[in-house]
Amino acid sequence: MKCSKLVYTILIAGVGCQIFGQSTSTTQFEVASIRRNLNPPPGPPQAMSLRASLKNGRLNFEAAPLKSLIQQAFDLQRDRIIGCPSWCEDERWDMIAKAENPQATLSEVTVMLQNLLTERFKLKFHRENREQAGFALVLEKGGHKLQESADADVVGYTADRYLRNFRKFPMVGLANFMANVARRPVADETGLRGTYNFTIDLTPPSDAPRVVSAGIPGARDAEEAFTIVSEAVTRQLGIRAEPRKVSVENFIVDAVERPTDLLAN
């Protein structure tokens, strides 16, 4: 069997590919490929969004850790994924997948991605509620400073040097972004149910150290990174992160394996 045009670039790169999951159902991708990325870009992995990556029934993730793929497939904050071995963070994967229906909904593609990861990585898991130290997003007394998105706006996230640009994002998206920085759970308690366009300006002071932690310039560690982000969010968006005990549902990884039928070395 030959690979389709969708994965032609994988073949010419000399790494190899696997095609699987060909199905007309709404629970499996029509065609998909996963391969190990042996030369990922330096630095931490880029922010990912399943919603922003879905275009005409296609998904394309590059140099993604498995933990990030699990996070997107099961709509999790990163710190709530427990028990994944170190290679889930350290190794990167390129994934291209196509649904049979180009108009497949986000919920349908989410199920397809869950099934894909479960099958190819032999992922087994269970969920468990725990109370953990974390944060809750609440509105400042003066209210928020967000701009509601228009119907024609397209969901997206970009990092442009010191600016973090969010388009058509719900507040849970902001909570997830901040949780990824804090490595602790962040709950949305703003009461805002719409989607919004906003930018967080993380330009450091001129005397700030030339360091980066958790993708945040001027931060020496994750704690300082979260302080920088939360202060910017309070000042610029009118939303405050309050320290609280948060009841969260954790995603416990019971078993996971590298795909043995892919070239993963």
Q: For the segment 35-88, what is each residue's pLDDT rounded down to a tens digit?
A: 999 988 877 677 677 877 788 999 989 999 999 999 999 988 888 899 999 999
51 closest CA partner among 153, 121, 124: 153
pLDDT surpassing 60 at residue 14: no
Question: Which comes out higher in pLDDT, residue 42 or 5?
Answer: 42
Q: Is 105 part of a structural domain of the chain?
A: yes
Alpha carbons 66 and 118: distance in angstroms, whole number: 11
The verdict on 97 and 141 lying in the same domain is: no
Q: Is 263 part of a structural domain of the chain?
A: no
Q: Is 102 part of a structural domain of the chain?
A: yes
The reported pLDDT for the residue numbered 7 is 32
Q: Is 264 part of a structural domain of the chain?
A: no
The verdict on 110 and 39 lying in the same domain is: yes
The verdict on 159 and 65 lying in the same domain is: no
pLDDT surpassing 90 at residue 212: no
The verdict on 81 and 155 lying in the same domain is: no
Question: Which comes out higher in pLDDT, residue 180 or 53?
Answer: 180
Alpha carbons 181 and 60: distance in angstroms, whole number: 24
The verdict on 16 and 112 lying in the same domain is: yes
The count of domains in the chain is: 2
Q: Where would I find the H helices in the chain?
A: 8-12, 50-53, 66-73, 87-90, 106-120, 171-182, 222-237
Phi first, then psi, for residue 229 (nearest 5°) are -70, -45
Residue with structure tokens 């069997």?
Answer: 1
The verdict on 74 and 150 lying in the same domain is: no
Alpha carbons 185 and 78: distance in angstroms, whole number: 8
Summarize pLDDT for 140-151 with one digit per residue, the tens. 999 999 999 998
Q: Is 179 part of a structural domain of the chain?
A: yes
Alpha carbons 136 and 240: distance in angstroms, whole number: 8
The 10 Å CB-count burial string (b at 16+, else e) for 75-97 is ebbbbbbeebeeebbebbbbbbb
Q: Is 262 part of a structural domain of the chain?
A: no
The verdict on 122 and 136 lying in the same domain is: no
Q: Is 265 part of a structural domain of the chain?
A: no
The verdict on 135 and 124 lying in the same domain is: no
User: What residue ranges in the chain does DSSP mark as E strands?
Assistant: 31-37, 58-65, 81-82, 92-98, 124-139, 147-148, 156-160, 163-169, 186-188, 196-201, 212-213, 216-217, 239-255
Alpha carbons 155 and 168: distance in angstroms, whole number: 5
The verdict on 91 and 109 lying in the same domain is: yes
Q: Which amino acid is at 23?
A: S
The verdict on 143 and 84 lying in the same domain is: no
Q: What is the CA radius of gyration of the chain?
A: 19
135, 229 in Cβ contact below 8 A? no
pLDDT surpassing 70 at residue 20: no
Residue-number span of the structural domain to which 216 is assigned: 130-249
Summarize pLDDT for 89-98 with one digit per residue, the tens. 999 999 999 9
Alpha carbons 50 and 59: distance in angstroms, whole number: 8
Helical pair 171-182 and 222-237, crossing angle rounded to 10 deg: 150
Q: Is 244 part of a structural domain of the chain?
A: yes
The verdict on 118 and 135 lying in the same domain is: no
The verdict on 243 and 135 lying in the same domain is: yes
240 token code pair: 């405050």
